[in-house]
């Protein structure tokens, strides 16, 4: 039965800064004893916060889950723009710091539906190649603007320099899918007559999933301008130590792009939390993911569904023509066991997305 498999589920994981999203998934793999994991949206190495991870047989869900709106807190450092638009990049432009009133006047212009140009260092494909791979080779990729929606841009904290100019600002953003907070930092700073890049990024919410419910949440530091600067200084220190090691041993070929983080001390606690907090794909969880819920009416209907028989309204407690177009429906037995997904296209055709056997 579906719920007998410990590896099947959705894990809310708190990623620490300095780790790639890929490496962060190792804790989930080890805790649940599976190599089948898939996240539904990465975080940059320097960032921290919520990863929504599908595990076991539910990795099939990763591509079907609605690309939710996301909420972030971001710390922008003004006066300098980097090529990556975050602190691990190289400074490519400098400009004066803005005053507070200018920032307050400009920020509302970055709410609503706007056009945004993604960073050149991104996973977007240009002519079949990742823009970030091209950028590392010195090739400037032409990435077209895209339409995004910023539902909220709210200043939480400001730190000024000795001349009363804004040096750092922490902003709470609620944004649509496909939004790059790094690009928002660049564009807000530029509109203020300055330059800017991120020195901290914290993802708090993905759709209806909250960071407070994640495994490892207690291990995250409180997010503020102060802690973002501290993380930056730790990264610089680690980079310096690694560079000195390379000078002593020049044959070592490592990029050392992130600080050394040891998970061993927290390993046992984190693994326990992952197991305890793993979400079975219940009807409530499916609703959180934005799916419609329908039920098979009998054991015979369940067998027909699991064996890929033609989809007919008689199998379900809902008329298939009543399903919303372009929205997947999660299929359950009468006693609440998840069986798979079906979908309805614009033309009204109902088809299997996948079946869980």
**What is the rounded distance in angstroms from the CA atom of residue 104 to the CA atom of residue 60?**
44
Structure tokens at 335: 């006693």
Catalytic residue among 4, 8, 44, 335: 44
Token pair 């973002």 in the structure block, residue: 228
Q: 78 near 98, Cβ under 8 Å?
A: yes
Tell me the Cα Rg of the chain: 23
Is residue 44 among the annotated active site residues?
yes
* 45: exposed, middle or buried (Cβ count in 10 Å: 0-12, 13-18, 19+): buried
Token pair 């498999």 in the structure block, residue: 5
Q: Which residues belong to the active site?
A: 44
């Amino acid at each position: 039965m579906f719920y007998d498999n410990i590896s099947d589920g959705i894990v809310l994981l708190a990623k620490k800064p300095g780790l790639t999203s890929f490496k962060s998934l190792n804790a989930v793999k080890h805790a649940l004893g599976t190599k089948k994991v898939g996240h539904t949206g990465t975080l940059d190495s320097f960032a921290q916060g919520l990863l929504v991870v599908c595990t076991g047989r539910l990795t099939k869900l990763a591509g079907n889950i609605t690309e939710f709106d996301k909420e972030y807190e971001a710390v922008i450092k003004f006066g300098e723009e980097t090529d990556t638009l975050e602190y691990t990049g190289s400074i490519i432009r400098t400009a004066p710091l803005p005053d507070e009133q200018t920032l307050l006047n400009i920020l509302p212009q970055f709410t609503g539906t706007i056009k945004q140009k993604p960073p050149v260092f991104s996973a977007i494909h240009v002519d079949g190649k990742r823009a970030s791979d091209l950028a590392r080779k010195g090739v400037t990729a032409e990435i077209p603007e895209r339409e995004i929606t910023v539902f909220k841009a709210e200043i939480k904290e400001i730190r000024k320099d000795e001349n009363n100019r804004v040096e750092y600002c922490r902003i709470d953003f609620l944004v649509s899918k496909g939004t790059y907070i790094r690009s928002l930092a660049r564009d807000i700073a530029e509109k203020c007559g300055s330059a800017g890049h991120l020195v901290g990024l914290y993802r708090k919410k993905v759709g209806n999933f909250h960071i407070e419910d994640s495994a490892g949440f207690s291990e995250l530091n409180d997010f503020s301008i102060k802690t973002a600067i501290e993380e930056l200084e730790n990264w610089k220190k680690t980079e310096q130590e690694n560079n000195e090691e390379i000078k002593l041993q020049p044959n070592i070929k490592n990029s050392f792009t992130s600080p050394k983080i040891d998970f061993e001390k927290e390993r046992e606690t984190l693994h326990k939390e992952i197991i305890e907090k793993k979400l079975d794909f219940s009807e409530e969880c499916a609703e959180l993911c934005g799916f419609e819920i329908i039920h098979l009416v009998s054991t015979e209907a369940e067998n027909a569904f699991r064996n890929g028989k033609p989809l007919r309204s008689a199998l379900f407690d809902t008329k298939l023509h009543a399903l919303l177009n372009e929205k997947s429906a999660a299929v359950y037995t009468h006693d609440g066991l998840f069986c798979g997904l079906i979908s309805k296209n614009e033309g009204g055709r109902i088809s299997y997305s996948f079946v869980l056997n």
